[in-house]
Chain A
Amino acid sequence: LKHVDEALKSKTFKKFTHHIIKPDNTLITLEVNGKVLTDNQGDITAIFGTSQDITEREKKELELIEKNQQLNLAEEIANIGYWVLNLETQKFDWSDNTYRIFDFDIGTPMYLDILLSRVPIEEHVSIKEKINTFIKTKKFKKFTHGLKHNNKSLRTIEVVGKVITNEQNEAIEFVGSSRDITEELKIQEKILATNKSLEESAIKLSAQNKQLAEFNQISSHNLRAPVGNLKALLSLYNDSENQDERKEIFSKFETVIDHLSLTLDTLVESLKIKNIPNKDVQKLFFKDTLTKTKEILTAEILKTGAIIKSDFSIKNYVKYNQIYLESIFLNLIGNAIKYRSPERTPKINITSDIIDNKVILRIKDNGLGIDLKKHGHKLFGLNKVFHRHPEAQGIGLFLTKAQIETMGGSIYAESEVNTGTTFHIILN
């Protein structure tokens, strides 16, 4: 009635709704539309109108609002924003959450240019190229871009979408969603970093395991032998009644003890090298190290007439631990002279190289050579000797390898019996 009164007063009919209860007790909503008719003097002559049952429509509208709210909530929770881009006007249609993600006030009219003003300038060209490709191919490919928020923080946005075409198969719209994946990326990075450090630990552990196995091997083989000898000598000494024999046995004790202390010293030295890696690294010229080595080996070089040639033109220096580099030179060149062929003048060739950014050193000789098929597995072992040579102790290569490995490198050999040996040292 109030609505009728108003209509009478204002002489216009305002649409309104009201509820009625039907005889079966269900509540329905009616929408009333009407018109006020007046005569020439402006007096009302009639009001007529229609009543429409809008119960269903109202229900649908309510559902829609609810769905929209749910969708908004879902967008917010998932950090996703939906959008439509009209390709002709370059105007965006954004959901509320899209505004939040891109950090604009909700409702601001939004165009591609305005959005790009928040994207780091170096990405503009590639984004524009992408849009052109999407239009041409009518296929939208997922991509990510950076986005600066008002507070200067840089976010990463992942965009997925679809190209909408008209009947002429022309691209008219992009619809899609943008997702802020900054936090996700951070977590991913953390996982990757954790993974990496786990891998590193695994490598370290297996290296330590290898070291332990090596140590086990050494104590099982190299320490037991001299200790066994001492035992045998002692038992013979006790059984012997001959004074001269006793004297002879006693002199052997000295030999074994010397051998034992050398083995122990070597072991301790190798453990020192491995466990306290001496990272005291400096720029060392190969030429200088070689000169020093030659000085130390002067007597051997003169005696054997060894010819030592070198070519460090590819790389003339390395950043390395000085003591280790000198020890590597001395051991390998010393070996090349020691295990020379009696039939040839020893010729030793030392060269440097770079492979995969790593400095390689090669020391090649024309000496006795080693049958690597037979002895290769113990070439760098402790107390392993391969020639009937009085000075062979099997210590040099064992320590050389430890020094090279502790600096992150590796060493291997190529050899042919009676032709010569080449040691390849990957320094770092």
Chain B
Amino acid sequence: MSNAINICMIDDDDIYQFTMKLSLKPLDDIGIVNAFNDGLAAIDYIKNHIDNPQKLPDIIFLDINMPVMDGYQFIEEYRKIKSKFDKNIVIYMLSSSIDPVDVKKVKHIDEVSDYLIKPIKKEVLKTIFKDFKEN
């Protein structure tokens, strides 16, 4: 159980959520998979489970463009609460945009491990999990 990796997907694109869930299926050691349609819903979830790190995600796949609270605004809120829980969450920011402005902006965010362009290939997903287990 402690080896299981909790996944959180924050994206307003339901089709993307569907493909991600299917892609995760064949992988081993997947724990809780949460899907949220915007940043605010995800922040609310984290706040509600702040004392229960086992329920918190290990990896967050965060979309940039979303209603209500977008990816950047999520990071701002996340910064305010990250000292309150005992877990090192890995965040990947993703978008279908190949706009260099977005890429550059994301590279400057400390909390974010990398910028991924949608759709995420199977190989990339595998590498992400392999990296996570090794660290």
Interface residues of A in 213-254 (CB under 8 A from B): 217, 220-221, 224-229, 231-233, 235-236, 240, 245, 249, 252
Name the residue among A232, A249, A252, A385 with the largest chain B CB count within 10 angstroms: A232
Majority DSSP secondary structure for residues of A touching B = helix
Name the residue among B19, B99, B120 with the largest chain A CB count within 10 angstroms: B19
Q: Residue of A at shortest CB range from B70?
A: A374
Q: Shortest Cβ distance from A308 into chain B, in angstroms?
A: 26
Q: Are B67 and A387 in contact (CB under 8 A)?
A: yes
Q: Are A232 and B13 in contact (CB under 8 A)?
A: no
**Chain B residues in 8 Å Cβ range of A201:** none
Is A152 part of the contact surface with B, judged by Cβ < 8 Å? no
- Count A-B pairs with CB separation below 8 Å: 70
CA distance A235 to B119 in the complex (A): 10
Q: Are A228 and B119 in contact (CB under 8 A)?
A: yes
CA distance A228 to B15 in the complex (A): 10
CB within 8 Å for A256 and B99 given contacts A225-B118, A236-B22: no
Q: Mark A358-387, 1 if CB is under 8 A from B, else 0.
A: 000000000000000010000000001111
Q: Shortest Cβ distance from B63 into chain A, in angstroms?
A: 10
Pick the residue among A228, A236, A256, A259 that contacts B96 (CB under 8 A): A228
Q: Shortest Cβ distance from A231 into chain B, in angstroms?
A: 5
Q: Are B96 and A224 in contact (CB under 8 A)?
A: yes
Name the residue among A227, A255, A384, A385 with the largest chain B CB count within 10 angstroms: A385
CA distance A220 to B67 in the complex (A): 18
Q: Are B67 and A392 in contact (CB under 8 A)?
A: yes
Q: Which residue numbers of B lie inside 8 Å of A, CB to CB?
A: 12-16, 18-19, 22-23, 37-38, 65, 67-68, 70, 73, 95-99, 117-122
**Chain B residues in 8 Å Cβ range of A245:** 22
Q: Are B19 and A233 in contact (CB under 8 A)?
A: yes
CA distance A388 to B39 in the complex (A): 12
Q: Shortest Cβ distance from B83 into chain A, in angstroms?
A: 24
Q: Are B22 and A388 in contact (CB under 8 A)?
A: no
CA distance A386 to B70 in the complex (A): 10
Instruction: Provide a sorted-by-A list of 19 A–B residue pairs whose CB atoms are within 8 angstroms.
Output: A221-B65, A221-B97, A225-B16, A225-B118, A226-B15, A228-B117, A228-B119, A229-B15, A229-B16, A233-B15, A235-B119, A235-B121, A236-B22, A374-B73, A384-B67, A385-B12, A385-B67, A388-B37, A388-B68
